[in-house]
Amino acid sequence: MNQNNFYITTPIYYPSGEPHMGHAYSSILADVFARFKRNDNCKVHFLTGTDEHGLKIQKAAEKNGLEPIIYCNKISKIFKNFTKKLNLSNDDFIRTTEKRHHKSVNDLWDRLVKSGDIYLSKYEGWYSVSDEAYYNSDEIIEKGGERFSTFSGSQVEWVEEESFFFKLSSWQEKLLEFYANNSKFILPISRRNEVVNFVKSGLKDLSVSRTSFTWGIKVPNNDKHVIYVWLDALTNYLSALNFPNTDDKLYKSFWPASLHVIGKDILRFHAIYWPAFLLAAKIKPPSRVFGHGWILSGEEKMSKSKGNILDPLGVIKKYGIDELRYYLMKEVSHGNDGNISLKSLENCINSDLANNYGNLCQRVFSFVKNNCKNKIIKTKNISEADKKLIKQTKNFTKDLRNLMNYQNLNNYIKSVISISFLTNKYINDEEPWKLKKSNIKKMNNILHLSLEQIAKISILLNPIIPDATTKVLKALKIKADLINLSFLDGKKLLSNETKISELNILFKKIN
């Protein structure tokens, strides 16, 4: 794969209920990385979709009195609409009930059979339908006669059935070697340590087929078994690139995946099972798995089953999509769990969007409109204050690519919002309104630099708040081929003589 190509994925969502804030968070996070890479002139392929097989979905369909496929068609559509509401820039939306995916799963299965990594036996143990996961006895607790996973809190049931197994145990050493050779395969580091310790403590072979229900992809040449939904689901990342056709342009351009963005609850599947399946099938594993934390409400994971939802669509309707995107990206510490509330959402909108970035744009645009007929001419003189602002901005921008390459979005946003703060301060200190009569040239220079700063900040914030920043960049009349990160390498965004158009208010202050 070309260094300049970037393949990024979100997890594919279970269409077992309505999309919630956790889904919104996970998707927006991936979207921000995808948009950033596009702005950095990379060729990006960004994938999301729905994970439609398995007992969990079969049960949800039964509960709704629908055939599984009819039920999936309905809910998958809701998720697809949701991606639009979140303003995701995904290039594809895959459904695991599609033909292209079946073909790909069958091929991966055949490869695992050929490599001798699959054998037939019997599974006896605990299974959580809600997590679609097997748990060891030491991961189970009993409460009121029922049993639950200590890891996720989900209820488990005892399963005894004929099953195909994947020889995961034989991959333990090779996985540890893989983690050692690819020190940034799992980020953040705390999650990497968690995975390495788990693998070191010993891996058991993994049951990869089920016989007690039918909703899934059949094991090739054995209709009695359906393929374990996680082996099925993970393969979506390959299916979307037209695997098994490894000569396909998409596959050649984008495999191995650059980044799987996932929640910490599904880390084991992505950081242990997935590279083990791929290594066994002689396919290169992805470059990075980034495990984010949970969105919490109070102390609990926010999820439909727990009924503690802050409804994303309601929030978007009331506050706006850029506002929700900015809030989730700024306030949640991305490796950790994050508590969210309407109060902190409103504070964040006011402090960063309305009072800082929004105010900066509004005050400069309206000043230029009212005093300069929307036209600014820069002369050569650069003041000490200008030099200082340019230098401070450089200091804040020099590390930005690096921060994003390691998914350190919190520090990225902090740096960019600091530039906006400094620019507001520069305007306060330079007081261009006092120069209207006495020094028009200097006033023009101050405004020109302020507009150049607004352009830079807007490009940097574009992955996070695409709607507002697009409006600003349009009003600045910046040419399309400059709306990227080339200014970090010294390109000027505005010509010396700059004409702008009017800008309407971007963010309303919430009282």
Which of 11, 335 has the CB closer to ligand ME8? 11
Give the residue, chosen from 68, 188, 216, 263, that forms a contact with ligand ME8 under the rule CB under 6 A.
Answer: 263
Which of 209, 424 has the CB closer to ligand ME8? 209
Give the residue, chosen from 6, 7, 14, 326, that forms a contact with ligand ME8 under the rule CB under 6 A.
Answer: 14
Size of the site for ligand ME8 (CB under 6 A): 21
State how far the Cα of 69 lies from the Cα of 65, in Å rounded to an integer.
12
Smallest separation (angstroms) from ligand ME8 to the CB of 116: 25
Long-range pairs of 103-106 with CB within 8 A, sequence gap ≥ 24: 103/239, 103/244, 104/235, 104/238, 104/239, 104/243, 104/244, 105/217, 105/227, 105/231, 105/232, 105/235, 105/239, 106/217, 106/220
Smallest separation (angstroms) from ligand ME8 to the CB of 15: 8
Give me the residue whose beta carbon is nearest to ligand ME8. 263
Using the contact rule CB under 6 A, the part of the chain among 7-15, 61-69, 109-117, 167-175 near ligand ME8 is: 7-15
CB 415, CB 407: distance < 8 Å: no
Long-range pairs of 376-379 with CB within 8 A, sequence gap ≥ 24: 376/444, 376/447, 376/448, 376/451, 376/497, 376/498, 376/500, 377/444, 377/448, 377/496, 377/497, 377/498, 378/444, 378/445, 378/448, 378/449, 378/494, 378/496, 378/497, 378/498, 379/441, 379/444, 379/445
State how far the Cα of 213 lies from the Cα of 220, in Å rounded to an integer.
16
Residues 42-101 that bind ligand ME8 (CB under 6 A): 51
Query: Looking up tokens 């000027």, which residue turns up?
Result: 492
Smallest separation (angstroms) from ligand ME8 to the CB of 408: 18
Using the contact rule CB under 6 A, the part of the chain among 260-268, 307-315, 414-422, 430-438 near ligand ME8 is: 260-268
Contacts of 26 by beta carbon, 8 Å cutoff, 6+ apart:
10, 11, 261, 262, 263, 292
Mask: binding to ligand ME8, 292-331, rule CB under 6 A, as x and -?
--xx-----xxx----------------------------
Smallest separation (angstroms) from ligand ME8 to the CB of 42: 23
Using the contact rule CB under 6 A, the part of the chain among 143-151, 231-239, 373-381, 406-414 near ligand ME8 is: 231-239
State how far the Cα of 461 lies from the Cα of 279, in Å rounded to an integer.
38
State how far the Cα of 446 lies from the Cα of 427, in Å rounded to an integer.
8
- Under the criterion CB under 6 A, does residue 28 sit at the interface with ligand ME8? no
Residues 236-255 that bind ligand ME8 (CB under 6 A): 236
Smallest separation (angstroms) from ligand ME8 to the CB of 26: 4
Which of 101, 448 has the CB closer to ligand ME8? 101
Give the residue, chosen from 8, 11, 321, 462, that forms a contact with ligand ME8 under the rule CB under 6 A.
Answer: 11
Give me the residues paired with residue 210 across strands: 226
State how far the Cα of 368 lies from the Cα of 274, in Å rounded to an integer.
55
Length of the chain: 511
State how far the Cα of 364 lies from the Cα of 50, in Å rounded to an integer.
45
Smallest separation (angstroms) from ligand ME8 to the CB of 144: 25
Which of 217, 266 has the CB closer to ligand ME8? 266
State how far the Cα of 322 lies from the Cα of 507, in Å rounded to an integer.
9
Helix, coil or strand: residue 4: coil
Which of 25, 365 has the CB closer to ligand ME8? 25
CB 424, CB 357: distance < 8 Å: no
Give the residue, chosen from 217, 257, 262, 316, that forms a contact with ligand ME8 under the rule CB under 6 A.
Answer: 262
Mask: binding to ligand ME8, 264-293, rule CB under 6 A, as x and -?
-xx---------------------------
State how far the Cα of 135 lies from the Cα of 151, in Å rounded to an integer.
9
Smallest separation (angstroms) from ligand ME8 to the CB of 297: 8
Query: For 155, which DSSP code?
Result: B
Smallest separation (angstroms) from ligand ME8 to the CB of 290: 10
Give the residue, chosen from 26, 76, 90, 424, that forms a contact with ligand ME8 under the rule CB under 6 A.
Answer: 26
Query: Looking up tokens 């395969």, which residue turns up?
Result: 185
Query: For 2, which DSSP code?
Result: -
Smallest separation (angstroms) from ligand ME8 to the CB of 53: 10
Residues making contact with ligand ME8 (CB under 6 A): 11-14, 22-23, 25-26, 51, 233-234, 236, 262-263, 265-266, 294-295, 301-303
